[in-house]
């Protein structure tokens, strides 16, 4: 087969709300896929993050619930808008034989638009859908006629097997981990096994300069993402992680992780962000990894998301010593009954204690809360509101429950009647003004409570920013006085006074 080219695309999402909103990251998943293609095939790969613009501004969540949401819907319908012209130009210029689209539920509609544009340019382009959404939604993605192949689960082995089969014009029936169209029907192959030896994977940013379109226009911080584990042992009903990674946790060796981090430091990065479902999993692994970081990557600063159950003074002190400067913590609800219902496996008392512990060690803390679960009542929602007000943190991140296809709670919403047969995933995200999946609370009442919480969150975060600026200003003034005092002492010594 000639023209062995694969274009891997992150479809636009934030840029649909406003042209200057941007995903200022090299998507980690696409980095792994591109490196696997380069290392194990004779195909030419290119990664295109269509959700990135060099003229980016800080995305405001509140914008997504106002006029930005309606701009987003307009851009999904109007494929003549500038963002889609950019996508057309890249596809025409690169001329891929295969187009791989990384897809989450919230950008599925955008991914379908990219697929349609590709087929409009060349109907022979093979469109492959990968990422979390097809892993969770299954064969439902084939309702879109422009999708030829769907890949589920981990993709590094699957993409290599798929490209080899396509390149040699072989049947796809032996490629594990995919579903595909054949003679008017959808065929689902056996699942691809999980990668047990994660150290065998190439580093995702090893050849970024050659693989990523517009590489030189990205800020260095776009390459800060790292993962140390895959899999999450927990079973939160609103999360689809287990459908992608499974509940069995696989660990990279600390030596392998720090070897990769050192390549980021060589790029000029002073900090990285661990993107694991939650960092460390076990106390032993946290200590082993922190020890390796301190020994091999001195001066590194890093952030992560951690589980409440793992928080204690000894562990947090070790993380701080190893350079951890920011922690994300998922609490979700302020009501213990609701926490049990959603399988969070924590209590609100444990969660608030964990917040105090993290702040006591001087670490920046971002906390996640969510309202609107299908089992939510006005009482449980107000408990969450009160807990949010009491939570000691630097940033409060508030979401409205969004049901993802393929999760148990999605089926519950169907049973309750809050999800109909015409459910459109593009209309719902964690800040969407259309989100309403808790029938025990009247819709008008729910929206009024949600807006009240949004106002409190904005006020609390704004006050935290003011306190932070004020504290930094005091620190600077103290340092400045110290510098002036040293200069005066030095001059007096020189002048002999």
309 lies in the same domain as 420: yes
Residues 140, 111: Cα–Cα separation, whole Å: 14
370-405: pLDDT as tens digits: 999 999 999 999 999 999 999 999 999 999 999 998
Specify the CATH number for the domain of residue 286. 3.20.20.70
172 lies in the same domain as 319: no
Comparing 297-306, 391-400, 459-468, which segment has the lowest mean pLDDT? 459-468
Average per-residue pLDDT in the chain? Answer: 91
Max mean pLDDT range (64-68, 347-351, 466-470, 480-484)? 347-351
Residues 446, 373: Cα–Cα separation, whole Å: 11
Specify the CATH number for the domain of residue 85. 3.40.50.280
97 lies in the same domain as 238: no
pLDDT (0 to 100) of residue 26: 95
pLDDT (0 to 100) of residue 2: 52
159 lies in the same domain as 281: no
437 lies in the same domain as 307: yes
Return the number of other C-beta atoms located less than 10 Å from residue 39's C-beta. Answer: 13
- For residue 218, tell me if it sits in a domain: no
- For residue 36, tell me if it sits in a domain: yes
Query: Cα angle vertex 160, ends 89, 229, to 5°?
Result: 100
First to last CA, the chain: 85
At which of 188, 210, 244 does a domain end? 188
146 lies in the same domain as 249: no
- For residue 199, tell me if it sits in a domain: no
Q: Is the pLDDT of residue 236 over 50?
A: yes
- For residue 488, tell me if it sits in a domain: no
CB 325 within 8 A of CB 364: yes
- Tell how strand 301-306 and strand 178-182 pair up: unpaired
290 lies in the same domain as 175: no
Report how far apart, in Å, the C-alpha atoms of 210 and of each of 48, 97, 207, 213 are.
Answer: 12, 19, 6, 8
Residues 398, 393: Cα–Cα separation, whole Å: 13
134 lies in the same domain as 247: no
329 lies in the same domain as 274: yes
- For residue 472, tell me if it sits in a domain: no
Q: Which two tokens stand for residue 105?
A: 């539920």
| Residue 396 belongs to domain spanning | 234-461
- For residue 195, tell me if it sits in a domain: no
Q: Give the mean model confidence (pLDDT) for residues 138-161.
A: 95
Burial class of 476 by CB neighbour count within 10 A (0 to 12, 13 to 18, 19+): exposed
Element (H, E) at 88: helix 82-94
Return the number of other C-beta atoms located less than 10 Å from residue 285's C-beta. Answer: 17
Residues 298, 302: Cα–Cα separation, whole Å: 12
- For residue 216, tell me if it sits in a domain: no
Residues 277, 227: Cα–Cα separation, whole Å: 9
At which of 188, 203, 223 does a domain end? 188
Q: Which two tokens stand for residue 376?
A: 């939510």
Domain count, the chain: 2
179 lies in the same domain as 291: no
Report how far apart, in Å, the C-alpha atoms of 157 and of each of 32, 106, 153, 162, 272 are.
Answer: 10, 26, 10, 9, 26
Q: φ and ψ at 91, to 5 degrees?
A: -65, -45
Please report where in the chains the tokens 């459910």 appear, as a residue: 423
307-340: pLDDT as tens digits: 999 999 999 999 999 999 999 999 999 999 999 9
- For residue 333, tell me if it sits in a domain: yes
Q: Which two tokens stand for residue 433?
A: 């003004």
252 lies in the same domain as 353: yes
| Banded pLDDT at 408 (limits 50, 70, 90) | confident
* Percent of the chain residues past pLDDT 70, beyond the cut: 92
43 lies in the same domain as 113: yes
185-225: pLDDT as tens digits: 999 999 999 999 999 999 999 999 999 999 999 999 999 99
Q: Is the pLDDT of residue 437 over 80?
A: yes
62-82: pLDDT as tens digits: 445 667 888 999 999 999 999
Q: Give the mean model confidence (pLDDT) for residues 446-469.
A: 90
Packed helices 108-121 and 82-94: angle between N→C axes, nearest 10 degrees: 50
pLDDT (0 to 100) of residue 125: 98
Return the number of other C-beta atoms located less than 10 Å from residue 252's C-beta. Answer: 23
DSSP result, 355-387? HHHHHHTT-EEEEEEEE--TT--HHHHHHHHHH
């Amino acid at each position: 087969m000639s023209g062995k080219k694969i274009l891997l695309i992150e479809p636009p999402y934030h840029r649909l709300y406003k042209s200057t909103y941007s995903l200022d990251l090299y998507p980690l998943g696409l980095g792994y896929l591109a490196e696997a293609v380069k290392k194990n095939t004779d195909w030419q790969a290119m990664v295109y993050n269509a959700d990135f613009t060099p003229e980016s501004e800080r995305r405001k969540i509140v914008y997504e619930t106002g006029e930005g949401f309606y701009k987003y819907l307009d851009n999904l319908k109007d494929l003549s808008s500038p963002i889609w012209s950019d996508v057309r130009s890249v596809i025409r210029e690169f001329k891929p034989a295969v187009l791989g689209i990384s897809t989450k539920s919230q950008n599925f509609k955008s991914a379908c638009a990219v697929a349609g544009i590709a087929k409009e340019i060349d109907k022979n382009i093979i469109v492959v859908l990968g990422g979390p959404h097809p892993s969770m939604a299954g064969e439902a993605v084939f309702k879109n006629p422009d999708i030829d192949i769907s890949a589920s689960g981990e993709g590094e082995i699957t993409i290599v097997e798929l490209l080899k089969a396509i390149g040699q014009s072989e049947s796809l029936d032996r490629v594990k981990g995919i579903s595909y169209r054949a003679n008017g029907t959808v065929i689902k192959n056996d699942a691809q096994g999980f990668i047990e030896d994660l150290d065998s994977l190439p580093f995702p940013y090893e050849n970024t300069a050659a693989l990523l379109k517009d590489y030189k226009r990205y800020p260095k911080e776009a390459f800060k993402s790292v993962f140390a584990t895959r899999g999450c042992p927990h079973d939160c009903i609103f999360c689809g992680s287990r459908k992608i990674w499974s509940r069995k946790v696989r660990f990279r060796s600390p030596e392998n992780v720090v070897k990769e981090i050192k390549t980021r430091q060589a790029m000029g990065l002073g900090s990285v962000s661990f993107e694991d479902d939650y960092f460390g999993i076990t106390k032993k692994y946290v200590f082993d990894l922190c020890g390796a970081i301190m020994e091999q990557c001195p001066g590194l600063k890093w952030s992560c998301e951690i589980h409440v159950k793992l928080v204690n003074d000894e562990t947090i002190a070790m993380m701080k010593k190893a350079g951890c400067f920011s922690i994300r913590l998922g609490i979700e609800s302020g009501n213990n009954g609701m926490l049990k219902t959603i399988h969070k496996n924590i209590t609100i008392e444990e969660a608030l204690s964990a917040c105090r512990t993290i702040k006591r060690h001087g670490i920046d803390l971002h906390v996640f809360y969510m309202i609107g679960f299908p089992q939510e009542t006005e009482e449980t929602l107000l408990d969450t509101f009160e807990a949010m007000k009491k939570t000691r943190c630097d940033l409060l991140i508030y979401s409205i429950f969004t049901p993802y296809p393929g999760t148990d709670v999605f089926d519950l919403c169907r049973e309750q009647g809050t999800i109909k047969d015409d459910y459109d995933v593009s209309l719902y995200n964690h800040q969407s003004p259309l989100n309403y999946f808790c029938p025990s609370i009247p819709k008008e009442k729910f929206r009024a409570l949600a807006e009240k919480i949004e106002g409190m969150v904005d006020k609390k975060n704004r006050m935290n920013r003011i306190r932070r600026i004020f504290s930094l200003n005091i620190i600077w003034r103290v340092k400045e006085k110290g510098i002036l005092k040293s200069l005066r002492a030095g001059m007096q010594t020189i002048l002999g006074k």
